[in-house]
Structure 1
Amino acid sequence: MSTTELLNSGDLELYVFGILNESETNQIAELSIKDKDIKKEIISIEHSVLALSSSFSPIISSDVYEKIKYNLGLKKRKVIKMKPKNNKSQYIGWAASVALLVGIGFQYSKLNVTKNQIKTIEVQKSKLEESVVDLELKNKETQTILGVVRDETNTVVSLGGQAAAPTAKAKIYWNKQTQVVYVDASGLPKPPEGKVYQIWSLKLQPQLTPTSIGLLSNFQANESKIFAVDKTSGAEAFGITLEPAGGSKSPTMEQLYTLGKV
């Protein structure tokens, strides 16, 4: 058998594991002294076996383990040479151990993939639930707006632009029976930072008496620009002024944006 054939035969692995017969063992031992390539391959196999033996147990017998360490110079005490065994069960056990490790690793990898898939599904489910809630809220808001606009018992008051904002406009939906008031502010410009629109219920007789019925807070966030404000009774007119954030006790007439009589 040539050096190349011996290197590829698998006999060197069996030699290291000590499971060749005595004749084969002696033959390879003699060749390893003469052939540097064979000796180098045996040393490489012995290093690999030691590395595997530190991770798995049992793979080789303690006698073989000690012999390999001695051959590699990792143990100085004399090792008693044991008669090689013909039983190949240890080699098969080593192969089974490696196969078991590969199987465990594969299953662990599949488990991690499954966990990541579950986590992704849960995130998607959470986002879908949030979208459904948003749609439900928007649908409810739309139904409320339609109800206000279509309610024939409401008195609709158109508010025209004033000197502070000639192009501004708004509408008041006022139910005189329930006193509920809604404001359509879609015709108002975006308020400057630090300012807020304030709605006033006005009595004109015997003198002008304004009563604040609410602020149009979160103006930008309200896409429909339909706002529910406080109830009122006996109103003869409605006005909207631009006030500092938090509102004012009385309307700033220089910032009167819209006004309309009932």
Structure 2
Amino acid sequence: MNITEYIASGILESYVMGAVSDQERREVECLSSIYPEIRQEIDQLAEALENYALLHSVEPPASVKDKILKELEFGQTNEKEHEPIIRALPTNGPTYRVTWIVAASMGLLLLLFSFYLLSELRTNQKTLAATRTANDALQLEMRQIRDNQSRTEQTMALLRQPGLRTVELRGNEKAPQGDMIVIWNTQTHQVAVDVRSLPNLPADKQYQLWSMVDGKPVDAGVFDATNGADLIQRLNRTVARADAFAVTVEKRGGSPVPTISTLLAMSPVNA
């Protein structure tokens, strides 16, 4: 028989607390009389549980003792009534201490169960917080998708309309790699830009499109160097007439007049 596995099975703890069947009790008592290791383990468990019970025991009020003594009647009795009753204590199995041990064990189990419930509550709270965070992120992503879809639909509607013209603008020596297309509808006067390649600007700067009418620049709206992140940017200005289009770098939000020194590209409409 493997004594180590039998001790580790937990049957001895249940035996000490009186939580075994009659058959299991007889088995433990039989084996404890054969193997000293089992008897020693039972004694150690009983002592540990007793110490726990004594450590958490509560002293009853003194008034309880007085009340009990008052209820006892000490009249004249014969000698047999005063003769002590002697009963043999069992040599095997749980002793009178088992009741206290069981009570202490139940208290310990309740305490452990309370800690378990508290741990589960904290875990559920963390899970709920993580779920809410994920839900907020998902809602933000859905809003971005809807916005992108709306812009795409507006762009497709713009491209399907009659009267559409496109003008390609290439950068000069200040932006040799610059390349973009102006999309202009001569009937609805709407204008958009498709930026293929433009240098990134500081946060306080922005590109501005100008329509040239009889040699005079007219504000056509501002846009950013998205470098292909957005396919087409619709501008917030309308262009009724244009002989050419030009691009300059201005302060964010645009300027009423172009800064000639920052001119990056210009191309006539009929080119």
The TM-score, its normalising length taken from structure 2, stands at 0.58
Task: Determine the structure 2 residue equivalent to 1:261.
Answer: 268
The equivalent position to 2:250 in structure 1, one of 243, 248, 251, is 243
Structure 1 residue 247: Cα displacement: 3.7
| Structure 1 residues 90 and 164, CA gap change in structure 2 (3 angstroms) | closer
| Structure 1 residues 104 and 125, CA gap change in structure 2 (3 angstroms) | same
The equivalent position to 1:177 in structure 2, one of 171, 174, 187, is 187
Task: Determine the structure 1 residue equivalent to 2:56.
Answer: 52
Structure 1 residue 260: Cα displacement: 2.3
How far apart in 1 are the matches of 2:114 and 2:251?
69
How far apart in 1 are the matches of 2:185 and 2:245?
14
Q: Which runs of 4+ in 1 moved over 4 A?
A: 3-13, 60-63, 86-91
User: Is residue 2:234 matched to residue 1:228?
Assistant: yes
| CA distances 1:115-169 after superposition (whole Å, capped 9, x unpaired) | 2223222222222222222233233333333333443432222334445445433
The equivalent position to 1:202 in structure 2, one of 212, 219, 229, is 212
Task: Determine the structure 2 residue equivalent to 1:97.
Answer: 107
Letter in 2 for 1:144: Q
Task: Determine the structure 1 residue equivalent to 2:8.
Answer: none
Paired residues of 1:215 and 1:247 also in contact (CA < 8 A): yes
User: Is residue 2:117 matched to residue 1:107?
Assistant: yes
Task: Determine the structure 1 residue equivalent to 2:137.
Answer: 127
SS at match of 1:189: coil
| Structure 1 residues 155 and 87, CA gap change in structure 2 (3 angstroms) | closer
Letter in 2 for 1:100: L
Q: Percent identity?
A: 23
User: Is residue 2:143 matched to residue 1:136?
Assistant: no
Gaps of 5+ in 2: 1-32, 63-95
| CA distances 1:53-99 after superposition (whole Å, capped 9, x unpaired) | 4xxxx6x7568xxxxxxxxxxxxxxxxxxxxxx69655443332222
Number of aligned positions between the proteins: 202
Structure 1 residue 194: Cα displacement: 5.0
How far apart in 2 are the matches of 1:245 and 1:89?
84
Paired residues of 2:180 and 2:197 also in contact (CA < 8 A): yes
Paired residues of 2:211 and 2:239 also in contact (CA < 8 A): yes
The TM-score, its normalising length taken from structure 1, stands at 0.60
What is the RMSD of the two structures over their aligned residues, measured on CA atoms?
3.8
Letter in 2 for 1:168: G
How far apart in 1 are the matches of 2:118 and 2:258?
71
SS at match of 2:108: helix
The equivalent position to 1:155 in structure 2, one of 165, 169, 178, is 165
How far apart in 1 are the matches of 2:249 and 2:44?
96
Paired residues of 1:200 and 1:211 also in contact (CA < 8 A): yes
Letter in 1 for 2:152: T
Task: Determine the structure 2 residue equivalent to 1:191.
Answer: 201
SS at match of 2:167: strand
SS at match of 1:122: helix
How far apart in 2 are the matches of 1:167 and 1:98?
77
